[in-house]
Structure 1
Amino acid sequence: MTAHDKRLHAFRPDLADARLQGKVAAERFVDGRPARIVQPVADLLREPRPDAGLDTQLLCGDAVTVFDEAEGWAWVQAARDGYVGYVSGGALGPGEAPTHVVHAPRSFIYPGPDLKLPRMGELSMGSAVTVRDFAETRGTRYALLASGGAMIAAHLGEADRRADDFVAVAEDLLMTPYLWGGASAFGIDCSGLVQLAMRMAGRDVLRDTDMQAATIGAAIEPGADRADLRRGDLVFWKGHVAIMVDPQTIIHANGHTMLVSREGLGEAIDRIGYLYGGPTGFRRP
């Protein structure tokens, strides 16, 4: 990362975050305005056009700062991890402070408190909602949302609830399809898996693999047989990261299986090394 990495600092030749005044060159500096993501998942793109590269995704309820809006696009910075990019203007709304977070991998929104009604949407793990009330139908408890609709209450946790083990969260996401730039339980990449799992355990970390390799926890030097690795340690390759489930096994979102999957660490090192070389580092959160 550079001192003013454009992934984490909002500045362009014509416009920049007011907090960067005197640090970067721009024609104009603005404070930005607060907003929240109101779509289930919003793609954060590197340019304001639909065919631009997908850098990451924001989830329903995520807070952002909006610096510019033009031609149906908004230039924003995510509050949770500082990532900067463009989202569709339709993804933004004023939003209320969320009261609950989705803890199931995925959950449906129904038009009312009845699972037999046709679904009207779906949310990923990590999405945040505002619950107005609760209702019960045929023994099933529902959360009634301020935005309209109802969700299975057991799929939600209060906003301050934290998972005890981020690795167990990653294991809940086994078989999730691999998606480059994905950050949700509908599709996720390697660093997105680390970020979402840690988010559910109450720890916000940076998004990309190079950022995580430089900032999460402390670097460790395992022995030649790697027997001293333990659950929760992170293994980094160039452009890739995996989570240790135990001293011999990793879980990672990967382009080999195109899924979140378990794999033996030794087998992964051999397979990945053929094209990309060996691990570049190990870190203990």
Structure 2
Amino acid sequence: MALDRRLNAYRDDLADKSLEGQVTARRFVVGEPARIASPVAALRPKPDLACGIDTEVLLGEEVTVFDRTDGWAWVKAASDGYVGYLPDSALAPPGNSPTHQVIVPRTFLYPGADLRFPASATISMGSRITVVGETETRGTRYFLLSDGRAIVAGHCLAVGTYPSDDYVAVAARFLETPYLWGGRSGFGIDCSGLVQLSMMMTGRSALRDTDMQAAGLGAEIGRGDLKRGDLVFWKGHVAIMEDEKTLLHANGHTMTVAREDFDAAVRRIGWLYDVPTGYRRPVA
């Protein structure tokens, strides 16, 4: 059986050294570490801006780079193992390890420690930054970053600490965030991206795509057992149970992250995508 190309870096001409003996390629390489230097980098299955995106990688996240050609980098994301192409300009050397991560859906980077300064960038929950100092301006505390910029300190926590142990509460913070196919940020997010990012912010891991989550995230349960935190899967879609009667999901019907009555959602979705294909309870 062929390895899943979404999670395994191999092409006819080049492959990840760790796959030697499992796939056929003309050359195998170890790859070089890099970090995402842009607020969000779209990861595509082909090196083509007209190609739809598979997922996104956030500021400060680490990737392994296997190839750089014509302004594109072929990479594997460290956070979930996803493989794809992104602009080479989105990458920077690995540098110092990030010290903090953003814990609010969106926040700003400023050229200095003052909220009156024009923001230089907007970054998403899950972004990672390297803090080298802190200061206070008119009662607001700021972290100073290694690149000279500043961020509101209350919007961050040290790497390895989390804003909540309840991933459903994290997911609810994204209500009304626009739906974006392949999105994985506070600017736009899809159904499986909402599950993955919300879990990541509670210290849990989840694979990226709906089929991956349906195949092995937690334990299978029955419909009658559903409670807060359980997942409902349709073909190509996933929703999070907020309680026994209500779900949260990023969806193409409202084009947002929305709260919806579970039974009503099953009826609404059923005419096009049939009934749910399964129910799973993530491991705590």
- The TM-score normalised by the length of structure 1 is 0.97
2:125 maps to 1:125: yes
Deviations 1:223-266 (A, max 9, x none): 3xxxx311100000000000000000000000000000100000
TM-aligned CA deviation for residue 3 of structure 1: 5.3
Alpha-carbon distance in structure 2 between the residues aligned to 1:215 and 1:127: 26
Name which of 246, 255, 260 aligns with 1:263. 260
Residue in 1 aligned with 2:36? 37
Residue in 2 aligned with 1:188? 189
Q: Secondary structure at the match of 1:118?
A: coil
TM-aligned CA deviation for residue 148 of structure 1: 2.3
In structure 1, give the amino acid aligned to 2:174.
L
Alpha-carbon distance in structure 2 between the residues aligned to 1:157 and 1:271: 40
Q: Secondary structure at the match of 1:267?
A: helix
2:81 maps to 1:90: no
In structure 2, give the amino acid aligned to 1:55.
D
Q: Secondary structure at the match of 2:267?
A: helix
Paired residues for 1:1-285 under 5 Å: 4-95=3-94, 96-162=96-162, 163-223=164-224, 228-285=225-282
Alpha-carbon distance in structure 1 between the residues aligned to 2:153 and 2:36: 21
How much is the aligned-residue C-alpha RMSD, in angstroms?
0.8
Deviations 1:68-102 (A, max 9, x none): 00000000000110000001000110132110000
Unaligned runs of 5+ in 1: none
Alpha-carbon distance in structure 1 between the residues aligned to 2:2 and 2:153: 44
TM-aligned CA deviation for residue 204 of structure 1: 1.6
Unaligned runs of 5+ in 2: none
In structure 2, give the amino acid aligned to 1:176.
T
Alpha-carbon distance in structure 2 between the residues aligned to 1:76 and 1:178: 25
Q: Secondary structure at the match of 1:54?
A: coil
Q: Secondary structure at the match of 1:4?
A: coil
Moved over 6 A (4+): none
Q: Secondary structure at the match of 2:215?
A: helix
In structure 1, give the amino acid aligned to 2:204.
R
In structure 2, give the amino acid aligned to 1:57.
E
Deviations 1:123-155 (A, max 9, x none): 100000000100000000001011221000000
Alpha-carbon distance in structure 2 between the residues aligned to 1:31 and 1:89: 18
Q: Secondary structure at the match of 1:74?
A: strand
Alpha-carbon distance in structure 1 between the residues aligned to 2:22 and 2:148: 44
TM-aligned CA deviation for residue 164 of structure 1: 1.2
In structure 2, give the amino acid aligned to 1:148.
G
TM-aligned CA deviation for residue 222 of structure 1: 2.5
Q: Secondary structure at the match of 2:74?
A: strand
Deviations 1:151-176 (A, max 9, x none): 00000011011221000000011110
Alpha-carbon distance in structure 2 between the residues aligned to 1:200 and 1:167: 11
- The TM-score normalised by the length of structure 2 is 0.97
Report percent identity of matched pairs: 60
